[in-house]
Structure 1
Amino acid sequence: MRRERRAVSKKRHRSEHHEEHADETWLIPYADLLTLLLALFIVLYAMSSVDSKKFEDMSKAFSIAFNTGVGVLENTTIVETGQQMEKDNETRRKSSDEENKDNDKQRQALMQKEQEDLEKLKKQIDQYIKSNGLTTQLNTKLNQSQLMLTISDNALFPSGSASLKANSRELAGAIANMLKKYPEYEIVVSGHTDDQPISNREFRNNWELSFQRALNFMEILLTNSKHDPKLFSAIGHGEYRPVATNDTTVGRAKNRRVEVSIIRRYADPEKAQQITATPKQ
């Protein structure tokens, strides 16, 4: 009887000892996962080493297959189709480049024609200035943004007034006649004063004086019916755009002026200057 109890006890002990071992079935899916990861890294490495052009063609082929529903293996011309699409795109790019070159050539031709027109107009105005002895009161300047005609205020207005002198109307008429040959250009008339304050019954400050002078001169230019009013504008800058010092009589005289700017239509944006930004002399 004792022997039987000992035998049963040994069997129980062995059974309990066997149950203490951990379940090792997780090793199988873990090994499968590692195998899949290894396969993934191999594929990624192979993709990184493949010829980029071939990989791009294959990518396009898969894209066509997914979008059209045609299997890659069902149609061996899909890769060729992708290559043809690339060729078509390249052809379109070349066509666009050629069109841009043609546009650039056309723009360059227009810029050249505009340069010739403005140089011709400048020569006509300079000849008028010289013939009428106005070299001390008028001057012209052609730059990358405009042809500017600068007129001293004493050639146009009495001191502190915006009413044009009788002979200044003749000057404005002559300028208008020269401009009518170039009706497509925008014209900006800007008035400037010195820094001496003004306050009378007609004007409260230099802003008003400079603007009214520009406006009055512009209206004389527009009496010529050949001009389009929508291309004309008047600006008053007061004393805030000087070209010389206001500390001397000569400097203040230079600052009191009216500028007539003929604006380029095909200005080079990299070289063009601000319309009203006149450097100090």
Structure 2
Amino acid sequence: MSRRKKKKRDEEHMDESWLVPYSDILTLLLALFVILFAMSSVDAQKFNILSKAFNEMFTGGTGVLNFESAVPPSNGKVPGKKPIITQSQQADAEAAKKIQEKEEAMKKDQEELYAIQTKVNNYIQNANLTDKLQTSLTSEGLLVTIGDNVLFDSGSAEVRSQDIQLAREIAALLVMDPPRNVIISGHTDNVPIRNSKYTSNWELSVMRAVNFMSIVLQYNSLDPKWFSAKGFGEYQPIAGNDTPEGRAKNRRVEILITPRVEQ
């Protein structure tokens, strides 16, 4: 009878020390699942938050369940912290902004030059001057080329009287708001000049550019400060000088309407 009572008493007072390691195992399992969940889309920010959480837990800080969420908000920002921008990052951002602004300005500038080209081309078509004037849009600007069969007699730098009206009509096309720099240049072939007035093709090309520009600037709406003249002689040919056709192409006057934004 005494043995049965003792056995019953032992069953009623069973040792409960196993609950401590059991609770530790549950805590570790919970921690493992939190890690696996966070690491499924791991990035440096999440990893640092998790590292801090478990460091505090195992060094006597707050427990996992009491710690602030290890997963950052959906916007990717850590609560209470502002992003740190270094001087290098700020400089890079400013440089990128300037590049973007310049590209936008260049695009707008090219669109304006294209509009001017369209206006000049319409004039050429309406005046039946396709065999005398051509335009091209280049990296240097809008180039208007006046052929050898216009403006000057052979060996002369004086604009022919019958072409003065054409020069004035071209001047009207150069009115722009706001204005742009305009460079007028003269070109010749490589045949040496033979007269007493000009000692070289270079001199002839310069005077042709200057005389043509003088007539253009008689148009009151044009400001002379935006204009300049150059002479290149025979040194910038656009065709070979070994044929009459090539030499005729090289004898020309060019009007360059420059971009406002440097390339």
TM-score by length of 1: 0.60
Structure 1 residue 221 corresponds to structure 2 residue 216: yes
Within the candidate set 210, 215, 229, 1:234 is matched to: 229
- 1: distance between equivalents of 2:251 and 2:106? 33
What is the distance in 1 between the residues matched to 2:88 and 2:128? Answer: 59
Displacement of 1:162 in angstroms is: 0.9
2:176 to 175, 181, 189: 181
Aligned-partner Cα distance in 2 for 1:197–1:89: 71
- State the match for 2:43 in structure 1: none
In the alignment, residue 119 of structure 1 is paired with which amino acid?
Y
Q: Which has the higher helix share?
A: 1
1:153 to 148, 151, 155: 148
SS for the counterpart of 1:153 is coil
State the AA in 2 paired with 1:262: I
**1:176-216 alpha-carbon deviations (Å, 9 max, x no partner):** 22221244321111101111111313211211111100111
Aligned to 2:206: 211
- Aligned-residue CA RMSD (Å): 2.1
8 Å CA contact 1:189, 1:233 repeated in 2: yes
Counterparts of 1:190 and 1:89 in 2: how far apart (Å)?
Answer: 56
Give the C-alpha shift of residue 232 in structure 1: 1.4
Q: Is the 8 A contact 2:155 2:195 kept in 1?
A: no
Report how far residue 153 of structure 1 moved.
2.6
Letter in 1 for 2:127: N
> Which residue in the other structure is 1:190 paired with?
185
Counterparts in 2 of 1:20-99, with a 5 A limit? 90-99=85-94
Q: Which residue of 1 aligns with 2:99?
A: 104
Classify the secondary structure of the residue corresponding to 2:149. Answer: helix
Counterpart in the other structure of 1:201: 196
- What are the Cα deviations for residues 255-279 of structure 1, in whole angstroms up to 9, with x where unaligned? 11001111122242xxxxxxxxxxx
Which amino acid counterpart does residue 113 of structure 1 have in structure 2? Answer: K
Are 2:167 and 1:134 aligned?
no
Partner Cα separation in structure 2 for residue 146 and residue 187 of structure 1: 10
Report the CA distance shift for 1:223/1:205 in structure 2 as closer, same or farther (over 3 A). same
Relative to the length of structure 2, the TM-score reads: 0.64
Residue equivalent to 1:245:
240
The alignment status of 1:259 with 2:254, answered yes or no, reads: yes
Task: Return structure 1 stretches of 4+ with deviation > 4 angstroms.
Answer: 87-90
Offset of 1:172 from its aligned partner? 2.1
Structure 1's unaligned 5+ residue stretches are 1-86, 269-281
Segments of 5+ residues of structure 2 without an aligned counterpart are: 1-81
The amino acid across from 1:172 in the alignment is A
The amino acid across from 1:258 in the alignment is: V
CA distance in 1, matches of 2:141, 2:174: 14
State how far apart, in whole Å, the 1-side matches of 2:94 and 2:225 are.
Answer: 33
SS at match of 1:154: coil
Deviations, residues 142-192 of structure 1 (Å, cap 9, x unaligned): 012211011013211112111112242222222222221244321111101
Count of residues in correspondence between the two structures = 182
Preserved contact between residue 110 and residue 266 of structure 1 (Cα < 8 Å): yes
Question: What percentage of residue pairs aligned between the two structures are identical?
Answer: 43
Equivalent residues of 2:184, 2:209 under 8 A apart:
yes
**Mapped partners of 1:173, 1:114: distance in 2:** 26
